[in-house]
Amino acid sequence: MGKAGGSHEGPDLTDTMLLVSVSKNSPGITTVSIPRDLWIPEIRAKINSAYYWGNQTTAYFGNSTPNGISFAKNITQKVVGDKIQYGVVIDFSAFKDIVDALGGIRVDVSTGFTDKLYPIAGRENDLCGGDPKLSCRYQTVTFSSGSQLMDGDTALIFVRSRHAEGPEGTDTARQERQQKVINAIKNKIMDPKVLISPKVDLALLNVLKKYVQTDIDGPTAAVLGRMVLKGDKNIKQYLIPEDLLANPPISKTYDQLYVFIPAAGNGNWENINKWFNEVLNKN
């Protein structure tokens, strides 16, 4: 899960959610993007708020251990239809710092786009001198098609842009861009020159310590790391098919929010569960 963190509005909302399945039978990794706007009836909220509500429950009952990861796993299991063993939460600041620690990443931008409403960090509450459109809170960002080297700031804008003109303004396009960048980070980390660089390794370790929260213990992380290295040549990336999802009209039923629900009906995950089962058992 990737959260905004910092001074952003809704810092604990996990707008990036990715299921990662590492095969024990043969080297291979499967990733599936989870749409942030999936409506979860049990919490009467979108799935991207599960981590937040888990932490709020922890604070309310006075538990010493944050419950955000555990709660988010339990909620997402309803969508996936299978147990999720581990959870990882990454502050987007880490995402940017990881890319910079690697010296940038090369990303193939398949479709260029322009977003005239990309938020400017630190100006979320600026009243813009009374401007009713609050124009001073936003900047225009543009990406041309083609292969390009991105630093951390550029890569972060690329994956977070939500108001692009045309087809790149959809949630599906955003998920595809996220997978492109994750794949580019993987490729750069697996570069032999990067793998054996003490300077890069130390920088990455410092970023992970500062910005990453997980319930994976040390020995398990070592085992998973070896499995990931063996399967890095066989990575399959998926999005939940659009025909399995529906976008209902904005209404009181969904608290006036833009949401996705299963095409089979609100809270009926059966067909989506079957799709996950097919995808995750291909490896």
Closest CA to 214 of 27, 61, 44, 69: 69
- Closest listed residue to residue 107, CA positions, set 141, 155, 152: 155
**Is the pLDDT at 112 greater than 70, yes or no?**
yes
Q: Mean pLDDT across the chain, nearest whole number?
A: 88
Kindly state whether residues 273 and 133 are assigned to the same domain: no
Long-range contacts of 41-44, Cβ-Cβ distance < 8 Å, separation of 24 or more: 41/266, 41/267, 42/75, 42/78, 43/75, 44/255
**207-226: per-residue pLDDT in tens?**
888 888 999 988 888 888 88
Q: What is the pLDDT of residue 256?
A: 95
For the chain, how many residues are written? Answer: 283
Within-domain flag for 253: yes
Q: How many domains in the chain?
A: 2
Task: Tell me which residue of 72, 36, 32, 27 sits closest to 280, measured CA to CA.
Answer: 32
Among 39-43, 63-67, 162-166, the range scoring the smallest mean pLDDT is 63-67
**Confidence band of 141 (pLDDT split at 50, 70, 90):** very high
Q: Tell me, yes or no, whether 164 lies in a domain.
A: yes
Average pLDDT in the 17-31 region?
89
Bridge partner residues of 235 (DSSP): 29
Residue after which a domain boundary falls, among 210, 241, 263:
210
Q: Can you list the positions of beta strands (E) in the chain?
A: 2-3, 18-22, 29-33, 39-40, 45-46, 88-91, 105-109, 113-119, 138-143, 146-150, 212-214, 235-239, 245-246, 261-262
Q: Which of 210, 243, 267 is the endpoint of a domain?
A: 210
Q: Does any domain span residue 93?
A: no
- Residue 196 sits in the same domain as residue 157: yes
Listed as own residue / partner, the contacts of 212-220 with beta carbons closer than 8 Å and 24 or more positions apart are 212/88, 212/89, 212/90, 212/91, 212/94, 213/66, 213/69, 213/88, 213/89, 214/69, 214/86, 214/87, 214/88, 214/89, 215/69, 215/70, 215/86, 215/87, 216/86, 216/88, 220/86
Task: Locate 163 and state its tokens.
Answer: 């108001």
Residues in Cβ contact with 215 at an 8 Å cutoff, skipping those fewer than 6 apart: 69, 70, 86, 87
User: How many of the other CB atoms lie within 10 Å of CB of 48?
Assistant: 24
State how far the Cα of 41 lies from the Cα of 52, in Å rounded to an integer: 16
Note the pLDDT tens digit of each residue in 181-205. 988 988 888 777 776 778 887 888 8
Q: Provide the domain limits for residue 80.
A: 1-87+215-283
Closest CA to 159 of 208, 101, 234, 107: 107
Higher pLDDT, 151 or 226: 151
Is 41's pLDDT higher than 70? Answer: yes
Angle at 47 between CA 44 and CA 51, to 5 degrees: 100
| pLDDT band for position 254 (cuts 50, 70, 90) | very high
Instruction: Report which residue type is found at 206.
Output: N
* CATH number of the domain bearing residue 189: 3.40.630.190
Calpha distance 32→70 (Å, rounded): 19
- The DSSP letter of residue 249 is P
* Residues 61 and 109 grouped into a single domain: no
The answer to whether 213 and 12 have CB atoms below 8 angstroms apart is: no
* 18 and 112 co-located in one domain: no
